[in-house]
Structure 1
Amino acid sequence: MDLTLDNISAYIRNFVHHPHPILAELETDAATRGVPIVGPWEAQLLALLARSVRAQRILELGTATGYSAIWLASAVAEWDGHVTTVDQDPGRVREAQRNIDVAGLSNRIRIVQSTALPALQTLSSPFDLIFNDILSYLESVDEAQQLLNACLQHLRPGGLLLCDNALRGGRVLDAATDPNASATKAFTETLLQHPHVDASLIAIRDGLLICRKHDA
């Protein structure tokens, strides 16, 4: 039996059900242009987790093309859930807005053009789910700690904090001379040992950190 990664990926893809046709188009576009998106099976897991806590208010850090925001907003549309997504790149913001409009979700997804920490200082909370997709942009352990604290502060008791790229392509195993890997490692290991969350690091794609904040 040929259990290559490509064959397994192709098998899993057979069971991905896109809530809107534009998502498959965005996957092809991301592969062509090298745009970082979570991909279909991780996106489907994010959507399942959002539904599992019946998320009404979702915060995403790192919009890219709007791919994961569309997945999340579609998952919680049944009970009028909404997504606020934050990205500092004006080009990405414009592109994401076009894709969100095509998906018919402009009434459910709001884009904030800003870096993460300033945005978190102004957004009202709490959120039921926070998807942190900016670990790959952290520049220091101090920044990682500030982001972690801000995320937990804005998360309701019982809410989920989901973080992509927690393994950084394996660079967290030898992070001493790599500022981003060091920051990501500090963020991830702090949450895995945090007294106020239950957390698990899943080796899906580049590592998905799943955390549930303890009930008050």
Structure 2
Amino acid sequence: MDSRVEAVLAEYHERGTREERLFSELPAEEAMRRRDEFLLCVGPDTGALLGLLVKGCGARTILEIGTSYGYSTVWLAEAARQTGGTVITLELDARKVEYARDALRRAGLESQVDFRVGDALELLPRMSGPVDFVLLDLWKDLYVPCFDLFHPKLPEGAIVVADNMLEPEIARPAAEKYRAHLRATGRYDSVLLPVGSGVEVSRRIAR
């Protein structure tokens, strides 16, 4: 991995460790209300898994729904540089996008990323396919409506990764609803992996 990428990830890890500790000390309701103030990244294990999956399937068009502060974007963009691909990343909060853009610039990866600011439910219908890889990591009650919008754009062999399937506990009902909805299509092989906060990894199949 490029030393600039390693340096940026180290900064994320330092901030993430500090803020995760502060976040864990808040009462549950306050924590959920203030969630967007904190860098709650997927962590190095999930980040490495994302990179492996992108490179393994040779993804050229990579869609990230929920940029947040850009931690996952760095992992995806590093993999995209090796596959010759582009990361299209969607985020509602322009302030977070500026933070992410600066991190990607310092990592030498900004040219691999197409930042789009706005509501994912409005941005997704404007996107053309095919999309080879999708990372879902936004508010969990938006997983199903977002899935319904990008699902038609996925070719056979496309990979979908949904984060936070096991944690936080308050999001489990929405996570279970998403997994049931995806599996009910009959168009995916799918597995729940206990990596990080729990990820559902799904592969589009012909059926």
For the criterion TM > 0.5, the same-fold answer is: yes
Q: 2:95 matched to which residue of 1?
A: 91
* Structure 1 residues not aligned, in runs of 5+: 1-16, 172-179
Number of the residue aligned with 1:190: 181
TM-score when scaled to structure 1?
Answer: 0.80
In the aligned structure 1, how far is the partner of 2:4 from the partner of 2:162? 21
- Tell me, yes or no, if structure 1 residue 205 matches structure 2 residue 191: no
Aligned to 2:206: 215
Counterpart code for 2:8: I
Q: What's the offset of the Cα at 1:181?
A: 3.9
C-alpha change, 1:138 and 1:79, in structure 2 (3 Å) is closer
Q: Structure 1 vs Structure 2: percent identity of aligned residues?
A: 27
CA separation of 1:144 and 1:19: change in aligned 2, threshold 3 A:
closer
User: d(CA) in 2 for partners of 1:22 and 1:116?
Assistant: 26
1:14 is aligned to none
- After superposition, the CA RMSD in angstroms is 2.0
1:89 and 1:78 mapped to 2: Cα distance? 29
TM-score scaled by length of structure 2? 0.83
5+ residue gaps, structure 2, are: 20-37
1:3 counterpart residue number: none
Distance 1:106 1:25 in 2: 17
Summarize deviations over 1:69-105 as a string: whole Å, max 9, x none.
Answer: 1111111212321101111011101111111111111
Aligned to 1:73: 77
TM-superposed deviation, 1:169 = 2.9
| Rounded Cα–Cα distance in structure 2 between residues aligned with 1:205 and 1:71 | 15
1:138 corresponding residue in structure 2: 140
In structure 2, the CA distance between the partners of 1:18 and 1:37, relative to structure 1 (3 Å rule), is farther
Q: Higher helix share goes to which structure?
A: 2
Do the aligned partners of residues 162 and 204 (structure 1) sit closer, same or farther apart at CA in structure 2, a change above 3 Å counting? same
* Residue 144 to residue 46, structure 1, CA distance change in 2 (3 Å): closer
Q: Is the 8 A contact 1:130 1:155 kept in 2?
A: no
Q: Does 1:156 align with 2:155?
A: yes
Kindly provide the amino acid, as one letter, of the partner of residue 186 in structure 2.
P
Paired residue for 1:30? Answer: 16
Distance across 1 between alignment mates of 2:143 and 2:86? 26
CA distance in 2, matches of 1:145, 1:107: 30
1:126 is paired with a residue whose SS is coil
Q: 1:31, CA displacement in angstroms?
A: 2.2
